[in-house]
Structure 1
């Protein structure tokens, strides 16, 4: 009512000349009208106070699904948030799982969203991984726990996103075990924006920034030199790593399932610029010609991701 037209009396009634003897009746009627308006205002306030408040829906979590020897996984949903879901994996001591490119060995996680309804797009975000050194191989992945944030924007904002996830994930210790979990959930529409819970917010901080050099606390690419035609083909990456340079690392991905060998640190200067090399076979060098490579720079205080052509 506060946004509507103000209350007004009948303009014609105000134009009439009052007759003697009617003043008391008129005043009585006015007093009655004021009392009615007061009661109506009180009723309106009470109704407004009891009306439902459209607050943001709270985040919820599925039951844990046990994977193997204490490792487990669950699905989180966050109505109203841009990142409105997440997959949390908790690993038993000594166990590990893999990044989207596992390195010399291992199995990347497979997220199958077939059957999901009202999702305009689906994007899984990968936190910055770590190099895991083993006696026979070097792999890329996670230990302890990892949270994969997920964006599932609704195609129709006033309808729920009905999530169906079939997850295949490899977990390894002395042996590797393929693990499987299925989840179904509905993310209801939310009238107000929401922030992700702390566990997802922390994971988002570790997701590599797209385009190195935007955040001075994160690594930045200085030079990329692909040598694909020489007698010893290789990829050379120079990058600046703020903070503790012992944590600096570089991972390279290629399209079409072409495996790029793990990089090795070669030189480091006083300005914080570190060089890495990936030595290639002649056949891999030939396969990489003209391809766009994804280079992930991982530092102590953040990570960045850039794309560079292999020419």
Structure 2
């Protein structure tokens, strides 16, 4: 497993070295970003979305990009009257990339964002940058700027509604009865064995484990099902190589199936 992890890290470094961050339209028009309005919600927040449109054959990545991929990062610091931004990720796809698995989206990604204003009586301006990776035969890092005055009078946006409908089920919605994580120290880090008692999500299920700490990196789990239990094993290492502890309440397990995806936040000792 460590060989795979080292190959993945080397692949990511190679991708990052291919190009400097590009303009708002992206290098050679490979990707473009625009901001969609969805109006106000019942609780006073604003609903919007970042829409990425990719050239045919190009892909971009989910928040946990798998063995081969560049995780997206957001900078909202230029925004005005923004107290909080909450992202809802649509369920991603799994791709085979140079023998490594990556997780993300192709053609178009509509990424819903719910914006909480600092002052509900004042207008909201969403301004910042999104750093992301796009891949076809090569991987290219991109930096896309956005600057948008949020339209408080906008109506329901079908594209945003469709993206929200594609979110993973919660553990309750997917009838997850139990999720436990057994932790075992290894020579390089920590092995997680997650056991999730839940009905099948359809087809060949794949689990993704996120450690909950940005300085930690988890390998793509080996996933198998035994009756009503899904078992996923992953190894976690620290970017610094230093010893670390894992908080089970911060571990996030996403199950990707043919019928739906499931988002499980936190696991018990197992």
Query: TM-score, with normalisation over the residues of structure 1?
Result: 0.66
Superposed counterparts of 1:119-268, under 5 Å = 119-190=82-153, 196-210=156-170, 212-213=171-172, 215=173, 218=174, 220=176, 222-229=178-185, 233-242=191-200, 244-246=202-204, 248-254=205-211, 255-268=213-226
CA distance in 1, matches of 2:233, 2:102: 16
Give the conservation status (yes or no) of the 8 Å contact 1:228–1:289.
no
Q: Mean alpha-carbon deviation: is it higher for 93-102 or for 273-282? A: 273-282
Shift of 1:202: 1.2
Shift of 1:264: 1.3
Q: Which residue of 1 aligns with 2:7?
A: none
CA distance in 1, matches of 2:135, 2:186: 38
Question: Is 1:306 the equivalent of 2:262?
Answer: no
Q: Which residue of 1 aligns with 2:5?
A: none
CA distance in 2, matches of 1:241, 1:95: 33
Could you give the per-residue CA deviations for residues 158-206 of structure 1, whole angstroms, max 9, x where no partner exists?
Answer: 221012121222101111112222221212444xxx7631111111122
Give the conservation status (yes or no) of the 8 Å contact 1:293–1:310.
no
Give the conservation status (yes or no) of the 8 Å contact 2:196–2:230.
yes
How many residue pairs are counted as aligned between the two chains? 238
Question: Is 1:76 the equivalent of 2:36?
Answer: yes
Instruction: Choose between structure 1 and 2: higher helix proportion.
Output: 1
Q: Which residue of 2 aligns with 1:5?
A: none
CA distance in 2, matches of 1:256, 1:287: 12
SS where residue 200 of structure 1 aligns? helix
CA distance in 2, matches of 1:285, 1:225: 22
Instruction: Choose between structure 1 and 2: higher strand proportion.
Output: 2
Task: For structure 2, list consecutive stretches of 5 or more residues without a partner in the other structure.
Answer: 1-23
Task: For structure 1, list consecutive stretches of 5 or more residues without a partner in the other structure.
Answer: 1-63
Question: Is 1:275 the equivalent of 2:209?
Answer: no
Shift of 1:133: 2.0
Shift of 1:86: 0.4
Could you give the per-residue CA deviations for residues 276-304 of structure 1, whole angstroms, max 9, x where no partner exists?
Answer: 22246799896344453111223323432
Give the conservation status (yes or no) of the 8 Å contact 1:290–1:309.
no
Shift of 1:113: 1.0
CA distance in 1, matches of 2:167, 2:46: 12
Query: TM-score, with normalisation over the residues of structure 2?
Result: 0.75
**Residues 89 and 104 (structure 1 numbering): CA distance in 2 closer, same or farther, change over 3 Å?**
same
Could you give the per-residue CA deviations for residues 49-101 of structure 1, whole angstroms, max 9, x where no partner exists?
Answer: xxxxxxxxxxxxxxx93554543221112332445210111222321111112
SS where residue 259 of structure 1 aligns? strand
Give the conservation status (yes or no) of the 8 Å contact 2:81–2:124.
yes
RMSD: 3.1
Give the conservation status (yes or no) of the 8 Å contact 1:293–1:309.
no
